[in-house]
Structure 1
Amino acid sequence: MKLSLCMIVKDEERVLPKCLGSVKNVVDEIVVIDTGSSDRTPQIAQKFGAKVHQFQWCNDFSAARNAALKYVTGDWILVLDADESLTQKIVPQLREVIHSEEYLLINLLRQELGAVQSPYSLVSRLFRNHPQIRFSRPYHALVDDSVTEILRQEPHWQIGYLQGVAILHSGYQKSTINQSNKHAKAQKAMEEFLATHPQDPYVCSKLGALYVETGKIAEGVDLLAKGVKIAGENYDILYELYYHLGIACSRLQNPKQAIVYYQAAIKLPIYPMLKLGAYNNLGNLLKATGDLKGAKTAYETALQIDPSFAAGHYNLGMTLKAMGLFIEAIASYQKAIVLNPKNADAYQNLGVVLLKVGNVQGSLNAFRQAIALHEKHNPEEAKRLRQGLQEMGLM
């Protein structure tokens, strides 16, 4: 089976080499649609053997992606953005699944590097080169609508997913979002789509979440609540709606209602890795409201799903410390540090707990690491911590 990579790009010379390098020994063809780059993006793509075509941007991602599909010759299509890369661990599974006869679409687990909230999402990025598969929606373009229609007409097809993280996505870094003005572009495109598709729960979820993120919380809550009413049994979308309603209620200082929404989200029958954000946020709220036992259970459940969830280990450590379970807290902080060695707060809280159990030297070592990390990003905290240790006679 021949596998084609299909992309749309514009001014991506900084990140494109990493993306294309991750697939150079995986795909048989690279098709790139350039929507008006002013940098070396087209030349870089060509160096990786890509067939580069031009497309006049019309504020519609689906139109651009569908234009790319016209040039694809492979049996299967993999879609990546320039700020994404394919993990090498997933390649054997990917090569195996495209030789199966029953699948029309394969969902891929994407890790959102730098995301403040949910660290994973499931994206429909690997699909058969079927003549009726097309992208829809001007922003957050996806093939799901056309796939649903094909399944009605050709019910022998199946939808599957690969086990493990397939795509690493760096686009959620704050600097990246601000630099590319992503929020404004997304809002404009989705508002235009909503005007003509007012009963679409997917756009209610995405636009509602964007409103909440950009401070338009009342508008966001109204749109998310509308989405819940019309989502039906579309559990993946329903999860996002409940999840973002939880975030909105937290920002409105309504933790009780936020907890209700997060609990509703985690009860839904969806891919467990997608629930990490809800479990983590639920734990944070339960801890803040004094339910330490409930918070501990939420964090532990998240870590059962993903033992490499660094934030979960740190938050569990904070809860265990508050419960007076210092030995267990030390273990959690140490796991958090192994997974994220740049977490100054983890070192700092580890130092506190080590001091409580009498390990003065270990505590000082942890505090020194915290100070060194704080000095790079938060010098005021480094100064405060150093002064505190001096007053205690520890430095």
Structure 2
Amino acid sequence: MNLSFCIIVKNEEAALPQCLASVRDVVDEMVVLDTGSTDNTIAIAQSFNAHVYSFEWCNDFSAARNESLKYVQGDWVLVLDADEVLVPEIIPELRQAICSPHHLLVNLVRQEVGAAQSPYSLVSRLFRRHRDIHFTRPYHAMVDDSVEAIVRHEPGWQIGYLPDVAILHYGYQASAIAARDKFAKARTIMEGFLANHPTDPYVCSKLGALYVEMGAKTRGLRLLEWGLQSIQNQSQIEAPILYELHYHLGCVYGEQNSLQAEQHYQLAVQQSILPKLKLGAINNWGNLLKEKGDLVGAKALYEQALEIDPALAIAHNNLGITLKALGQFGDAIAHYQTAIDLQPNYAEAHQNLGVVFLKVGRVSESLAAFGQAIALHEQTGSSEGDRLRKGLREMGFEL
């Protein structure tokens, strides 16, 4: 089976080389659709022997992606964004998947590098070249709607997924979002779509969560509640969208009504989706239980998260906090250290490690951990470093 690679780009000279390098030995052709670059993007694509085409940007990602599909020649199509890379370890599974005569679409697990919450998502980026497959939705462009329509009329097709991480996505790091004014662009496009599709639960979830992240929490809450009402009125309820709505509602209510937040997280976790996708809800639910003093319940949820993903640094840190509160200092130290091994710049984990070291009388190790935490806080411009230094000084320690 021949595999084609598709990507749409604009001024991606910084990220594009890494993206193209990750797929060049896997695919049989590269199709790059440029939407108006003024930097070296086109030259970089050509240096990878990609077929480069131009397209006038029309504020619609699905229109651009569909244009790129016109140039594809392979049996299967792999789609990435410039701020994504294909994980080398997934290549054997990917090659095996496209040899299946029954699969129309193979969903891929994407890791959101730098995301504070929900470190994984499932994306429809690997699909058979079929005359009726096309992208819909102007911002979160995806082929799911057209694939669903095909399967209804051609029920012999199957939709599969690869359970291991296939894509690393760097676009949700704070620096990337700020540099591209990503929130404002997403808001404008999604608001236009919502005006014509007011009961679409998917856009209600995405735009509602975006409003919350931009500080318009009341507006976001109303839209998320409306999305939940809309999806419950549908004959076929999609578990991934229902998960997202409950998860985002849990996040909003977590600041004002812990009982409602807990109910939403519980409903989110109950959805029939890939366990990796539930980690945000599981971790946040654990936080709610920890804050209200249910340490045993919180411990169980953090352990559940780590059973799903042993490399989830935030769960190790939160479990460490819970174990310390339970008086299990040795185990707390072990989990803080694991969190730091996984994420060396994790200032909070260094700080928490300093606290428990001091608690058990390991003063020199405590001061070393506090020193590292202060340095990391200062690197990010956080005032927490000064607060921590002042607190230590009041205890008689000078750093």
Shorter-chain TM-score range: over 0.9
Q: Name the amino acid aligned to 1:244.
A: H
Relative to structure 2, which stretch is displaced further, 230-239 or 104-113?
230-239
Alpha-carbon distance in structure 2 between the residues aligned to 1:197 and 1:386? 53
**Counterpart in the other structure of 1:246:** 250
1:243 maps to a residue whose letter is Y
Q: 1:366 — aligned with what? A: 369
Query: Among 302, 305, 317, which residue is 1:302 paired with?
Result: 305
The equivalent of 1:350 in structure 2 is 353
Structure 2: runs of 5 or more not aligned: none
1:50: which partner in 2?
50
CA offsets per residue over residues 103-162 of structure 1, 9 Å max, x none? 000000001111122111000000001111000011100000100010011111100111
> What do residues 53-106 of structure 1 show as CA deviations (whole Å, max 9, x unaligned)?
000111111110000000000110000000000001111100111111110000
Q: How does 1:186-205 map to 2 (within 5 A)?
A: 186-205=186-205
Comparing 71-80 and 277-286, the one that deviates more:
277-286
Relative to 1, partners in 2 of residues 1:382 and 1:198: Cα closer, same or farther, differing over 3 Å? closer
User: Is 1:281 equivalent to 2:284 in the alignment?
Assistant: yes
Deviations 1:315-362, CA, capped at 9 Å, x for gaps: 111111122221111111011011011112212211221222222333
What code does the residue aligned with 1:188 have? T
Offset of 1:379 from its aligned partner?
Answer: 6.8
- Aligned pair 1:119/2:119, yes or no? yes
Q: TM-score, normalised by structure 1?
A: 0.96
Q: Matched residues in 2 for 1:63 and 1:77: separation? A: 17
Letter in 2 for 1:119: P
Cα 1:18/1:369, change in 2 over 3 Å: same
SS of the residue corresponding to residue 89 of structure 2 reads helix
One-letter amino acid matched to 1:347: H
What is residue 107 of structure 1 aligned with on the other side?
Answer: 107
Q: Which moved more, 1:352-361 or 1:73-82?
A: 352-361
The alpha-carbon deviation at position 250 of structure 1 amounts to 2.2
1:149 aligned partner:
149
Gaps of 5+ in 1: none
TM-score with structure 2 setting the length: 0.95
* Pairing of 1:43-192 with structure 2 (within 5 A): 43-192=43-192
Which amino acid is 1:236 matched to?
Answer: P
Q: Structure 1 counterpart of 2:78, which letter?
A: L
Range with greater deviation from structure 2 (4-13 or 196-205) = 196-205
Aligned: 1:229 with 2:233: no
Corresponding residue SS for 1:135: coil
Q: Look up the match of 2:264.
A: 261
Whether 1:290 and 2:293 are equivalent positions in the alignment is yes
Q: 1:393, CA displacement in angstroms?
A: 4.5
Give 1:235 deviation, angstroms: 0.3
Distance 1:376 1:158, change over 3 A: same
What amino acid maps onto 1:349 in structure 2? N
User: Following superposition of structure 1 onto structure 2, how do residues 326-341 of structure 1 map, counting pairs within 5 Å?
Assistant: 326-341=329-344
**Offset from partner CA, 1:149-200 (integer Å, 9 cap, x none):** 1001111110011121100001101221122122121112112112222222
The farther-off stretch of 281-290 and 309-318 is 281-290
The whole-number CA distance in structure 2 between the counterparts of 1:223 and 1:394 is 50
Find the counterpart in structure 2 of residue 377 from structure 1.
380
Cα distance in 2 for partners of 1:3, 1:49 equals 15
Moved more, 188-197 or 157-166: 188-197
**CA distance in 2 between partners of 1:143 and 1:278 (Å):** 26
Once the two structures are superposed, what CA deviation does each residue of 1:294-324 show, in whole Å capped at 9, x if it has no partner?
2111111111110000010001111111222
TM superposition shift of 1:264: 0.6
Shift of 1:387: 4.7
Higher mean displacement: 341-350 or 2-11: 341-350
Q: CA deviation at 1:370?
A: 2.4
Match of 1:318 in 2: 321
Aligned partner of residue 161 in structure 1, secondary structure: strand
What is the deviation of 1:390?
4.7
Residues 11-32 of structure 1 deviation map (CA, whole Å, 9 limit, x = unaligned): 1111111111111111111001
Task: Please report how far the alpha carbon of residue 45 of structure 1 lies from its aligned counterpart in structure 2 after TM superposition.
Answer: 0.7
Q: Separation in 2 of the partners of 1:148 and 1:354? A: 55
Question: 2: CA distance between counterparts of 1:350 and 1:128?
Answer: 49
Amino acid in structure 1 at the alignment position of 2:85:
S
- In structure 2, the CA distance between the partners of 1:192 and 1:13, relative to structure 1 (3 Å rule), is same
Could you tell me how far 1:280 is from its partner in structure 2? 1.0
CA positional deviation for 1:255: 1.6
Q: How far apart are 1:383 and its partner, in Å?
A: 4.2
Q: 2-side partners of 1:298 and 1:261: how far apart?
A: 15
Amino acid in the other structure paired with 2:87: T
Count the aligned residue pairs.
394
| SS state at 2:226 partner | helix
2:227 and 2:5 mapped to 1: Cα distance? Answer: 33
Map 1:206-221 to 2 at 5 A.
Answer: 206-221=206-221
Q: Percent identity?
A: 62
Q: Secondary structure at the match of 1:81?
A: coil
1:394 to partner: Cα distance: 4.8
Backbone CA RMSD of aligned residues: 1.5
* Residue aligning to 1:39: 39
Give SS of 1:22's match. Answer: helix
